Amino acid sequence: MPGDDVRVAMLTWEYPPRIVGGIARHCEGLAKALAKQGHEIHLFTLDFPGAPDYEETEGIRIYRTRSEVGHPNFLTWVLLFNHYIEKRMADVTRLVEFDVIHVHDWLTAPCSIDFKHFSRKPLVFTAHSTEHGRSGLHIPDSFTIDGLEWWSTYEANKIIVTSGAMKGEVCGHFHVSDSKVEIIPNGIEPNKYEVPVDKGAVRARYGIQPHERMILCVGRLVPQKGIEYLIHSVPIVARRRPEAKFIIVGDGWYRDHLEWVANTTGHRWRVTFTGFISDWDLVALTKSADVLVVPSVYEPFGIVALEGMAASVPVVASQVGGLTDFVEHDRTGVLVYPRNPESIAWGIDHVLSNPGHAEWLVKNAREVVQKAYSWEAIAKRTGKVYKEAAERKEQL
């Protein structure tokens, strides 16, 4: 291991422009900050139509790999693309000697574990979530994914999780030693929200009149995000706040069901589903909202809430998982009971009814974001974990 700067092979199945959940954004923010601090980052990921096979951007070398052979079965496809990424890594290794391998989630774990053994380099595994937490273990694929997650935690020299809740989940479910796991939260770029936005125009574009209140929810439309409970809260909120309108941003396989739930509320006209929107539109919409609601039932971290805090929007979030690490009830946001429409409605009304208090929450929230959740701080902590992983490897 050289001095403080390390040469990292980072692996992730999603990286911009291939973006779905938080992993792509996490890897982008972390890789950029690590590169800025002098580390040499080689990022291996999957291809995306229109994106180059290789590029260097902001100090990051990005290798996008196409799986030349496919298969309709998800797990078979995953193992096939791991083979092609591993082949690409082998090619790069002829020219570059890595100090550490850093893999994000189980999807690229098979090739990273192989690479650990043939290169004899330390492996760092970031567990962003678990199959057990995401969907429970009910079908054969889930048991296999759970097994791959366990195998990743076993093979890793160090494990990074983004919240205290995730540490408990990983240590408890996979029987991992506490000392092997480090909590390093997700980060954001607070400057991203320091842009002028014509809130009236943005709101008008989404059908929000000047006298109406905009309640925003952003996330993948999947069951663990708890959006159906927010939709069930719409009639309750409307009784207290007839001027309430709800904007739901994102897409997912659960969308048809959520639209059906919205149809049953008698308030369908209050709810707009936008589908996927651009990064810039999301910043503008977030800054223009009156409340951001994060109604998740499972949330390893909850970066959407952190983004709302950075955008100076009052946050109402479920009291679950990583959200409780940074949303402090009635100080940096409002916590509500998960799976509970009454509680969600209370949280929304609590914020809308007390503008002075909401402003105070926003001020506190911004201070927390700037102090502890910048990518610069997170990259420094990650660099320390790389060094510890190298030391741990020597002990094994």
Partner 1 sequence: MSYTPLPPVPEEYKVLSMMHNIGAVIPERSLTPDELAMWTGIDISTVRDCLQRLKELGYVEHIQVSGVEKYIVTKVGIMKVLTLYS
Chain residues binding partner 1 by CB under 8 A are 14, 17-21, 23, 48-50, 66-74, 76-77, 107, 220-223, 228, 232, 251-254, 256-257, 276, 341
Please report how close the Cβ of residue 307 comes to partner 1 at its closest, in angstroms. 18
Cβ–Cβ < 8 Å for 21, 220: yes
HEC letters along 7-59: EEEEECCCCCCCCCCHHHHHHHHHHHHHHHCCCEEEEEEECCCCCCCEEEECC
Q: How far is the CB of 106 from partner 1 (least distance, A)?
A: 11
Query: How far is it between the farthest Cα atoms of the chain?
Result: 66
- Shorter beta-carbon distance to partner 1: residue 265 or 312: 265
Q: How far is the CB of 52 from partner 1 (least distance, A)?
A: 14
The two structure tokens encoding residue 272: 């707009």
Taking the complex as a whole, how short is the minimal distance between the CB of residue 141 and partner 1, in angstroms?
Answer: 10
The CA distance from 331 to 46, in Å, is 41
Non-local CB neighbours of 370 within 8 Å, separated by 6+ positions = 190
CA distances for 237 relative to 272, 339, 340, angstroms: 16, 16, 13
CB of 206 to partner 1, least distance (A): 19
Is the Cβ of residue 2 or residue 140 nearer to partner 1 in the bound state? Answer: 140
DSSP for 193-252, please give it. G-S---HHHHHHHTT--TTSEEEEEES-SSGGG-HHHHHHHHHHHHHH-TTEEEEEEB--
**Closer residue to partner 1 (CB): 107 or 315:** 107
Query: Which C-beta is closer to partner 1: that of 47 or that of 155?
Result: 47
Q: Which is nearer to partner 1, 48 or 360 (CB)?
A: 48
Smallest distance, partner 1 to C-beta of residue 68, A? 8
CB nearer partner 1, residue 130 or residue 157: 130
Buried b (16+ CB within 10 A) or exposed e, 269-295: ebbbbbeebeeeebbbbbbbbbbbbbb
Decide if 299 contacts 222 (C-beta within 8 A): no
CB atoms within 10 A of CB 72: 6
**What gap in Å lies between CA 328 and CA 136, rounded to an integer?**
28
Least distance to partner 1 from the beta carbon of 345, Å?
A: 12
Residue (70 or 147) nearer to partner 1, CB: 70
